[in-house]
Amino acid sequence: MRIVIPVIAFAAVSSVPLFATSYYLYLAELAMINVVVALGLNLLCGNGGLISLCNGSFMAAGAYGTALLTSEAGLSGLAALPAATLLTSLLGAILGYPARRLSGLYLALVTLGFLELVQIAIEEYPDITGGIRGLKVARPAILGLSLQSETALYLLVAALTAFAIFAAWNIQKSRFGRALDALRQSPFAARSLGIPVARMKPFAFALNAAFAGCAGGLFAMVTGFIDPTEFGVLESLKHITFIVVGGLGSVAGSVLGAALFTALPEFLRGTNEYSELVYGLILLGTLLFFPRGLAGLWERLPALPLQRAASKEPVHGAS
Amino acid sequence: MVLLETEGLSINFGGVAALADVSISVQPGEIHGVIGPNGAGKTSFINAVTGFVKADQGCIRFDGADVTGLAASSLSAGGLGRTFQHAELFGECTLLENVLTGFYRHQRYGLLAAVAGFGKAARIERQTRKQAAGLLAQFGLADLAQHRASDLPFGLQKRADMARALAAKPRLLLLDEPVAGMSEGEADETAASIKQLARELDITLVVVEHNMRILMSLATTVTVLAQGRVLARGRPDVIRANPEVIRTYLGEDA
């Protein structure tokens, strides 16, 4: 049972190219890329309780890294993506290092400063990054086989997204996920158990940056063109709404939140200027009525027969 | 042979001496009780020894090594455990998850194994789950393993805090008011499990406690603190007979 649902879901997602137009294929790719970003950010914020307003910068590092490693260093797309992911992860660790003693608003400000720094760096080195005019990204080739076909690129994105979900789920259920949860809920208790609280923060940032870097690399491949406006503060705030609306600390929440907010503009196309209003209402409504996000909805429903059957075990009275 | 030794430990909070020249030595295998009225410096003593508060003066030796000024997480990694006066459980997690978190340092698998999920990590997780369930059972919490920690009454949270601290496999465990918030019956039960577990697991205990009756039944040696200073030390029966102790502490509350 536990393996059946993911397999069906993956098969369904993989079959989209069979019937979707290329625009919807592109939209589905963007949704999956956002899922990858949300998964990483949720480990950092939802589990670790650390805020980051510079997730766009990590995406930028992954995107520009993949593009430049392909065009300048001559790596194949399949080698450039993991290399850029690793480099971005390192960047996350470096940012996380001075953040060791910070939390809350102070950490938010430091990450905001970092975001500006990255924006400026992209704009100030147009010879390398293309500056504000942007950078064209070549379609990746895998094993010499160019991913000219839309389907092949789509399947690559789907496969990596599936792996990201798998990885985030496993990390969350592991000793590392529990250490992040401990960091959020009681740093005191965490320290009393030998969890290296100061080292956990760079670790959490590195983890988040790896997901965002990979997503950024995929984004560069899918769009074929990147410029700094794609990775600004609005983008970073959007990533936070993904996980808040989806459900903090929940893998399902990351998936639901990212998918919803990628698809939303499509549903709201007729509403023009009111679309921002709908965004705001959804965010506000979630915070007010479903503090645990879309993923928490399931638990808020009145006990349905199905749900009762699914509940893990009978409730014992307090001793 | 001394397991834990403090020498001239002093802490000041803005001119108020929380601890003044406190020297205590704890022998391996003993249950060392620390009593004293409110504000006597009992919790400050635990905080100083476990690295949560830096002492202004004095030194701390653990297992023969000078550990003065070391960070709390490295001290606990070295075998120095503690519990908290207010339990400090991870409130949104279940009791089982709380205890599992205690095993963090003893689960030897890396991030890549964690990402893969199967194999080594899965095997270690299964073992740990069994051990965590066992610890919960020893504190009578087996039926509550899947309950959110913050939903439980304080007395049960205190017991879970102890189970979690034991999961980290300390050699010396400092308990901060372990039976606070419990009825007399629960307190007796808990004291019995503490005593039994300390013997079974070969753990030395320092017990800070308000409850005189429980402390005297548990401890093999007692140190009395008053206003940050050591007032008296000795075997429980000697302490009980000490006129100065009776005047400052027992007289008002026992």
Show me where the domains of chain A are located: 4-231
pLDDT at A215 over 90: yes
Helices (H), chain A: 4-14, 16-19, 22-41, 55-71, 77-96, 104-124, 126-129, 150-173, 175-185, 187-192, 197-223, 233-246, 251-267, 275-289, 293-300, 305-310
How many angstroms separate the CA atoms of B154 and B89, rounded?
10
Which among B73, B92, B143 has CB closest to A191? B73
Q: Can you tell me the distance from the alpha carbon of B14 to that of A30, in angstroms, rounded to the nearest whole number?
A: 57
Q: Give the residue-averaged pLDDT of B37-51.
A: 91
Chain A hits for B73, CB-CB cut-off 8 Å, are: 190-191, 194-198
Q: Quick check: B214 pLDDT over 60?
A: yes
Cβ of residue A2 closer than 8 Å to a chain B Cβ: no
Determine the residue among B115, B131, B159, B169 to mutate to test chain A binding: the one whose Cβ has the most chain A Cβ atoms within 10 Å. B115
Looking at beta carbons, which residues of chain A come within 8 Å of B93? Answer: 178, 181, 185
Per-residue pLDDT at A67: 93
Distance CA B194, CA B158 (A): 12
Q: Which domains does chain B have, with CATH numbers?
A: 1-79+169-254 (3.40.50.300), 91-167 (no CATH)
Terminal CA-CA length for chain A = 34
pLDDT band with cut points at 50, 70 and 90 for residue A185: very high
Q: A-chain residues within 8 Å CB-CB of B114?
A: 170-171, 174-176
Task: Please name the residues between 179 and 218 in chain A that touch chain B, using a CB distance below 8 Å.
Answer: 179, 181-182, 185-186, 188-198
Give the per-residue pLDDT at B1. 79
Two tokens, residue A256: 């639901």
Tell whether A22 lies on the interface with B, counting CB pairs under 8 A.
no
Within 8 A of A186 by CB-CB distance, chain B residues are 88-90
Chain-chain contact of A312 with B100 (C-beta, under 8 angstroms) = no
What confidence score (pLDDT) does residue A316 get?
41
Contact assignment for B115 to A179 by CB distance below 8 Å: no
pLDDT single digits (tens) A266-290: 887 777 777 778 888 888 888 888 8
The beta-carbon neighbor of B114 closest among A176, A189, A198 is A176
- The confidence score (pLDDT) of residue A139 equals 76
**Local confidence band at A317 (pLDDT 50, 70, 90 cut-offs):** very low
Q: What is the pLDDT of residue B76?
A: 94
Residues 6+ apart with CB under 8 A from B125: A173, A174, B107
Task: Report the residue of chain B nearest A167, measured CA to CA.
Answer: B115
Percent of chain B predicted with pLDDT > 90: 76
CA dihedral in degrees (B112, A64, A95, A124; nearest 10)? 170
Mean pLDDT of A176-197: 96
Query: What per-residue confidence (pLDDT) applies to A72?
Result: 86
β pairing state of B80-82 and B204-208: unpaired
CB B144 within 8 A of CB A170: no
Contact B72 A318 (CB under 8 A): no
The answer, for A174 touching chain B at a CB cutoff of 8 Å, is: yes
pTM: 0.90
pLDDT (mean) for A196-217: 96
Residue among A1, A55, A8, A7 nearest A33 (CA):
A55
Is the pLDDT at B205 greater than 50, yes or no? Answer: yes
Confidence bin at B5 (pLDDT 50/70/90): very high
Look at B175 and B180; give whichever has higher pLDDT. Answer: B175
